[in-house]
Amino acid sequence: MFSVIANNGSGDAFSQRVSPGGNLEAVFLEDQFKATSWLTLTGGIRITHFDGQLTENAADPRLGAAIRIPKLNWVLRAAYSYCYQPPPLDTVSGPLLQYAASQGVAFLPLKGERDIQQEYGVTIPLRNWVSTLTYFHTGARNFFDHDAIGNSNIFLPLTIQAARIKGLEAAVRSPLILNHYHAHLVYSNQQAQGFGTVSGGLTDFSPPPVGGFSLDHDQRNTLSAGMEGDLPWRSFAALTFNYGSGFLNGNGPNHLPSNYTFDLALGKTFGERITVRLIGANITNNRYQLDNSNTFGGSHWADPRMLSVQVKYRFHY
């Protein structure tokens, strides 16, 4: 359901309801084979059929291997996968189509996103500490994004001809500290770039930048550190610090200022069946801008402090 009310005094307004339909069927087969005590192979295939505004089929193989180095107990791993993501059912017609045309944009049929994902890594245990180092690379065709119609807050999907997301991630997890607590640290450096023009969805048919461009959610460095563990009286807690070096500023290449948040979770178990958890996200209420680009996005700000309560009841079984 779409509704637009102009606030510039022109009196322009319209509302519209659309009811697109579609169906998706998928069959997945996977197996794991332990060739030797130090070599494990995995393989699988996912077959997908999508029927909506258009019909698409995909057969996506996935391969992986893990090698354990004797005595050191290091694990080397690699994975290579094809992935298909069906398109959303959004479409434009009637008053919304006329409004889009008046803003100089049109809506092309949306095709599904097709990715090739690669991941290579090593896991290193050392005195009950576990460290992992992972390189990942995703090449996408018809990469999904979104954009706003004119200066409205109506966002519709689009696909970019190609995208590349690659990076390096390092993680460390501690053994039990003081018999009650675990600590972890995760650092990632990545790049997100788009190539080509808009291939589907909302577009104004602008020619693509030469040599590619940074996607609006490109944030080069992120870090997460925290501790979690048990407290007295059958209670537990988790504290997490999150850091980001800043998302893309406008169309780049500069980035917005860095940002950080603290998350806190406290919980307690009552008897054998009831667990209550209080979760606070961004407990310092740090406000920062996620995106200020008019290309594929619009302006977004991070969520303010949010509190939630979860109650879990375990039934007898």
CA distance 156 to 203: 10
pLDDT of residue 297: 58
- Structure letter (DSSP) for residue 96: H
- How far out from the chain centre does Cα 200 lie? 21
pLDDT higher than 60, residue 18 = yes
Six-digit token string for 28 = 């997945």
pLDDT of residue 304: 93
Instruction: Give the rounded percent of residues in the chain with a pLDDT score beyond 90.
Output: 56
* pLDDT one-digit tens code per residue, 131-179: 999 999 999 999 998 877 767 777 788 899 999 999 999 999 999 888 8
The pTM of the full predicted model, rounded to 2 decimals, is: 0.81
- Decide: 97 and 137 in contact? Cβ < 8 Å: no
Q: Domains plus CATH for the chain?
A: 20-215 (2.40.170.20), 230-317 (no CATH)
CA distance 80 to 121: 12
pLDDT higher than 90, residue 279 = yes
pLDDT of residue 167: 96
pLDDT of residue 298: 61
Smallest CA-to-CA distance from 133 within 76, 182, 66 is with 76
CA distance 63 to 30: 10
* pLDDT one-digit tens code per residue, 194-240: 999 888 888 888 887 777 888 877 889 999 999 999 998 899 999 99
CA distance 121 to 133: 5
Mean pLDDT across the chain: 89
The residue whose two tokens read 């005094």 is 9
Six-digit token string for 295 = 């290309």
pLDDT of residue 294: 56
Lowest mean pLDDT among 44-48, 182-186, 188-192, 301-305: 301-305
- Decide: 291 and 217 in contact? Cβ < 8 Å: yes
185 torsion bin: left (phi>0), alpha (psi -120 to 50), beta (else): beta
